[in-house]
Amino acid sequence: MPVITVNWWQGNDRRARKELVAGITDVVTRVSGCPDDTVTVIVRDVEPDHWGKGGHLADEPRSWRGPR
């Protein structure tokens, strides 16, 4: 009974969440062999000012940031 949690930036719409859940479920069932109704996917929307990387909050402008 796999449980997968995805944390991503807030702002993705329902269509994107639905596609993400379906895709993750497909991969997990294919790799593990478990039935799709046993796979749980939890999607958490995180505001950029609650997300840090490299010692900085994601909503802080940085001129050296480069491509994402």
So which residues are the catalytic ones?
A: 2
**Residue 40 backbone class (left: φ over 0; alpha: ψ -120 to 50; beta: rest):** beta
Q: Which residues pair with 44 in a beta bridge?
A: 7
